[in-house]
Every structure is written in C-alpha cells, then in structure tokens.
Chains A and B, each alone.
Chain A
C-alpha cells in the first residue's frame, strides 16, 4: 500500500464479529470486505451500483457495497452471505433461503447469487410472505445472466412459505 494513502481506523460488526481496522479512506465497502476481511462471498460486478452482486445488509437493510465507503460503515452492523448458513450442519449446511435456492436450481454460475440472497433475506424479514410481484420488484435491483430469474422467484416463494423465514 502506498505510504501516501489516507487511512482511517474503523470499528464495525461483520456477521456478528467485531473488527477494528485501519482502512484506506477511498476503499468501498465491498472491496474492504473482500480484501481486508477476506470475506470473498460478496462479489463485485459493475462498481456502479446497477448489477447488485455486491449487495450486503448494513444495519439490517440492503445496500450496494460498491456505493458505500468502508469508512462509512464505522459503527455499523454488516451482514454478508457468509452469515446465512450460520448454525447449520454438514457439508451441505445451508440456511432455509439457501436450501430453497439449491432445491429450485436458482443459481447457475453463482456470481450474482450472494447479493440476491442478501436482498431476499431483507425482503423476507420485512415481508415473510411476499407475492411474486414483490419478489420480482426486489430482484429488479439485480442482474443475473444465467437463470432468467424464474427459478430465483420460485426459490424465494418457496423459502417464504416456511415458518422460520428467509434466513
């Protein structure tokens, strides 16, 4: 790292774990999670806020990781895809929304998937039984080139019917 790089210390909770670290002021939240915390489940697809691959939850609501500086997350609670299987067992241990994705073949290359999982996690917390239109509206904030979205909609609706909620 360049010695001239402006740095700042931040403290934040990521997936329930508190981190205090010095970060470059210009680094965005997605790059910080990936590079500094090695949480590479959050992907970067466009860096201009359209594709949605970098979507994470900040203080419980979805946000584009590429449209927020890491320093802005100081004091925040961040959730990433790595949190969704917490408490599950085994090699195929998956949270309910993740399990529904596998069940309904809602992913192919998997690159856009983590961001979509985070947006749907937020939706299902806010609205445990959304209809298809509500799911499609949330998904419209994500680009997927593989699936045509149909099976993602089906997986979200399948996860929605489970009493435990999305994740």
Chain B
C-alpha cells in the first residue's frame, strides 16, 4: 500500500498555490491529509501533481473580524479544540470538534480539509451548516463568498471550481446567551458518525425560543437543516411535546441507507439524538451548566 508516483509542490503563497492549481496537470490539493493520504496509500487516487497547502502563509489562524469569527482553512482541528475564542464565541464548534477523529488526527487535520472533503457525517460541515457559515474561496479571478448551504452541493462534492482553493470560513456567533448541543452516535469513539445532531437555540426574554437551528449529519448526502423541526420549537416556550414533535421531524427526513446501516435506523437515531439534544441546548440557553463533557462511548452524552 504505497502511494503512486506524483510530483510534490509546496507553495509559500496563496497566489503561488492558485497558479499551480490552475496550470499543473491533474493537480490535487493536500491539506491536513487525514483523508487524502489514506486514499493515496490505497491508490484510489493518482494525481500527477500534489500541491501541499501546509506552507502557504495566511491560510491558518482564528481571529475576530467585526461580528464574526474567521477561521483560516488550514487551521488545525487541534487549534480549534484548544481555542479560548472558539470556546467562548462558537461553543457548538468547540463541542463538535471533540468528536472529530482522534487527538492524533486532529493534530494535523484542518477545518478546510474537512469542509472540502465534505463527508456526509463529518462534524465541521455540520457546524458550518448549522451556523450558516460563509466560505471564502480564492480563485484565479479573485475571491468569492459562498454560504455553506450553497457550498455543499452533493455527496462529497463541494462547489469548488477547478483551480479554486478554500481560504477561510466565517462564523457569525449567536447571542452570548444561546444554548447549544452536539450529539453523535458512532460505533466506536472517533469513528465517523452514523448520525449526529447539532442544535442551537436562543431564548427571548419571555422564555420562548426566538431562534433555532437543528442540523443533522449522516442522514443525507450532506449535512441538512431540518426546517420543520426548527419550526416546531420557534416562538414557543418549548414543552416536552414540542421536543417530541421536533424529534419526529428529524426522524422522518429522507435518509441514506446501505447494507450495514439502513435508512430507517438513521432516522431512528436522528429522532433519538434530537430528542436528547434539545433539552441540553435549552438548559444551556437558560443559563444551565455549559461544561463540555468528553464524549461518552455510547454517543449519547448521558
């Protein structure tokens, strides 16, 4: 299992990388390598040219910009995991990142790599979808911005044209008092989720849910927002029956199936995890404990 031959390039600037991506035959961009390298080792891919983004200046880092938190595409998952800024402003991302692979892969894996790989059950695309992140894409003709909804075209298919490079991701934090929850079910800790759910809730002064985001990973070709589940909570003082209604919505989304994991099972997990996540997010929105527990091995954070 040795990688096929390719030419390796290590550009130092984004312009240099863009130029290589535009001119070299059969190029492939290498970010953290935690998904690409196994595919190379298995010879599932045979690019003629491998363009390593790890030495490109200015693609990495976490900063505040106006109302937004901007994360460079080559920012390592480890940096996000240990970022005080992310913990304070983007607690959903801080919680979700702990479910990404293992420490040893988070040390090299990047948020941009995950967004471009766009695995249907990956956590970072889910958070980008849940928070309506904006992706800044550099190309031969300059920059363009895309909302995550438009970036995630289809199964493992980002809306990137040939020669384009994802540069950064812009998250707009929710109100400081918002509640959040990220739950995931996988057979073993660190495996790709079978199903994961991300919930964000803001409560109005009267205790009604004034803003809601419910996102599922692992059920469809890409992470999906569940609008009817969100509607079941919006504008109400959320009751157990509202939670059941939202969970039922999650449990009836069209789900992918395969011989190991049939669609009905993904739907069941979506319902179960949603029903468990909403109370956690609600409690946090109401000022409850915000501590992020290590993920448990049964995927339910109980």
A67–B38 contact, CB under 8 A? yes
Binds A, one of B102-110, B128-136, B168-176, B213-221: B102-110
A68–B7 contact, CB under 8 A? no
User: Is A9 on the interface with B (CB-CB < 8 A)?
Assistant: no
Minimal beta-carbon separation of A147 from chain B (angstroms) = 17
A47–B1 contact, CB under 8 A? yes
A48–B104 contact, CB under 8 A? no
Minimal beta-carbon separation of B254 from chain A (angstroms) = 30
A68–B108 contact, CB under 8 A? yes
B105–A49 contact, CB under 8 A? yes
Q: How many residues of B contact A (CB 8 A)?
A: 31
A52–B108 Cα distance when bound, in Å, is 14
Contacts of A63 in B (CB 8 A): 104, 107-108
Q: A119-B104, A138-B103 are in contact. Are A61 and B78 (CB under 8 A)?
A: yes
Closest to A4 in B: B5
User: Is A98 on the interface with B (CB-CB < 8 A)?
Assistant: no
Minimal beta-carbon separation of B258 from chain A (angstroms) = 20
Q: How many residues of A contact B (CB 8 A)?
A: 35
Contacts of A27 in B (CB 8 A): 2
Within 8 A of B (CB), among A43-69: 47-49, 52, 55, 58, 61-64, 66-69
B8–A67 contact, CB under 8 A? no
Within 8 A of B (CB), among A1-24: 4-6, 8
B38–A48 contact, CB under 8 A? yes
User: Is B84 on the interface with A (CB-CB < 8 A)?
Assistant: no
A119–B103 Cα distance when bound, in Å, is 9
Q: Which of B41, B107, B188, B190 contacts A61 (CB 8 A)?
A: B107
A8–B38 contact, CB under 8 A? no
**Which applies to chain A's interface (DSSP): helix, strand, loop or mixed?**
mixed
Minimal beta-carbon separation of B184 from chain A (angstroms) = 14
Contacts of B37 in A (CB 8 A): 28, 49, 64, 66-69
A130-165 vs B, CB cutoff 8 Å, 1 = contact: the mask equals 000110011011000000000000000000000000
Which among B41, B52, B103, B294 has the greatest number of chain A C-beta atoms within 10 A? B103
Minimal beta-carbon separation of B110 from chain A (angstroms) = 13
User: Is B10 on the interface with A (CB-CB < 8 A)?
Assistant: yes
A8–B41 Cα distance when bound, in Å, is 19
A71–B294 contact, CB under 8 A? no
Q: Which of A47, A64, A67, A140 contacts B189 (CB 8 A)?
A: A140
Within 8 A of A (CB), among B36-81: 37-38, 40-42, 50, 52, 54, 78
Residues of A whose CB lies within 8 Å of any CB of B are 4-6, 8, 25-28, 31, 47-49, 52, 55, 58, 61-64, 66-69, 71-72, 74, 119, 122-123, 133-134, 137-138, 140-141
